[in-house]
Amino acid sequence: MAILEVKGVNKRFGGLLALDDVNLSVVENSIHAVIGPNGAGKSTLLNCFVGKLLPDSGTIMFNNHSLLGLPPYRINQVGISRVFQTPEVFLDLTILENVMIPALAHRDGAFHLAPFKSLSREHDIREQAERILGSVGLLEDRHHLASAMSRGNKRRLEMAMCLVQKPKLLLLDEPTAGMSRADTNNTIDLLKTISEDHEITFVVIEHDMTVVFSLADRISVMSQGHVIVEDHPDNIKGHPKVKEAYLGTTETA
């Protein structure tokens, strides 16, 4: 059963065809990786999922509802959360507040006005946030400002911010980019635990092959705006088209 169905998506930036007839089908509760060399169109595709970019043509269906033209906050409200390539958190807020905000947005919707309600009365929200922070190992520091965190911890925090919303689909844009080997392994473990504990579908964009092959249930390989192969990891490794895309064995203009 496909939770995310992408059909014939095109996106052109001036003279560059960034996405050229992209088709993708993500199975529910699986980890689906999208790989490909730089400039293959992976991030463009992801930006189309979350409403940052509008495709020129094609359809993107989530649980049989079209996502096209919806603003980012609406797409989040239907159950799609996103982790950014460089961690995007609220630097001037405490770690706990960072997680309470998505929890509130999940409970109250995109706009809910209660200007005189005291935050200290929101026990449920606070408990939810603290439980999630415990599971990513940030509970101790919850009253610190997010700006004081390391990059690896910011990534964890961002993950917690997504998880507290119980998303159906979690989009990860290069979750280990710029990380040390140890941090990368920690992130892999974290993602594995999350996918075992929660009923979440993942779409992971990644450069790091170790990450991809140790996590993914299914892999799509992109090159120059196309999805050239979509298959099980074992069949991807030796695939001639993939080698060609990465190593460029044949001359291309």
Partner 1 sequence: MLKTTDNKDRLMMIVFTVAVLAAPVILAPFGAGYPDLMQRFAIYGIFAIGFNLLFGLTGYLSFGHAAFLGVGSYAAVWMLKLLSVNIIPAIIFAVVISGLFALLIGYVSLRRSGIYFAILTLAFAQMSYNLAYSVLTPITNGETGLQMDLGDPRILDAATAPGQLPPPSLFGLEMGDTHYLSFMGLDLQFNVGFYVCAAILILMFYISLRIFRSPFGMLLRAIKSNQTRLNFTGVHTRPYALVVFVISGMYAGLAGALLVCMDPLAGPERMQWTASGEVVLMTIMGGAGTLIGPVLGACIIKYFENIFSRVNDVIVGNWFSGLPDSVGDFLSAIVSPFLGSGWQMSLGLIFMLVIIFLPGGLMEGVTRLLGWLGRLFRSRNNDDDADAPQSRKPPPDQRSSRPASPKES
113 near partner 1, judged by CB under 8 A: yes
**Of the ranges 5-13, 137-145, 174-182, 224-232, which one interacts with partner 1 (CB under 8 A)?**
137-145
**Of the ranges 106-114, 184-192, 213-221, 223-231, which one interacts with partner 1 (CB under 8 A)?**
106-114
Residue 110, both tokens: 């995109």
Cα–Cα separations (whole angstroms), residue 149 to 61, 92, 134: 37, 11, 16
| 220 contact partners, CB below 8 Å, separation of at least 6 | 24, 32, 33, 34, 35, 227, 229, 230
Binding residue for partner 1 (CB under 8 A) from 135, 165, 176, 195?
Answer: 165
Smaller CB separation from partner 1, 61 or 145: 145
Query: Minimal distance in Å, beta carbon 108 to partner 1?
Result: 8
65 near partner 1, judged by CB under 8 A: no
Binding residue for partner 1 (CB under 8 A) from 126, 151, 166, 207?
Answer: 126
Beta strands in the chain (DSSP E): 2-13, 16-27, 31-35, 57-62, 65-66, 80-83, 169-173, 201-205, 218-223, 226-231
Structural contact between residues 2 and 28, judged by C-beta atoms closer than 8 angstroms: yes
Residue 152, both tokens: 């690896």
Per-position x/- string for 77-96, each x denoting binding to partner 1 as judged by CB under 8 A, each - no binding: x---xx-x---xxxxxxx--
145 near partner 1, judged by CB under 8 A: yes
Cα–Cα separations (whole angstroms), residue 128 to 82, 96, 139, 160, 164: 19, 10, 12, 10, 7
97 near partner 1, judged by CB under 8 A: yes
72 near partner 1, judged by CB under 8 A: yes
Smaller CB separation from partner 1, 59 or 147: 147
| Cβ count within 10 A of residue 182 | 9
115 near partner 1, judged by CB under 8 A: yes
Residue 6, both tokens: 């992408």
Contact positions vs partner 1 (CB under 8 A): 50, 71-73, 76-77, 81-82, 84, 88-94, 97, 100-102, 104-106, 108-111, 113-120, 122, 125-126, 143-145, 148, 161, 165
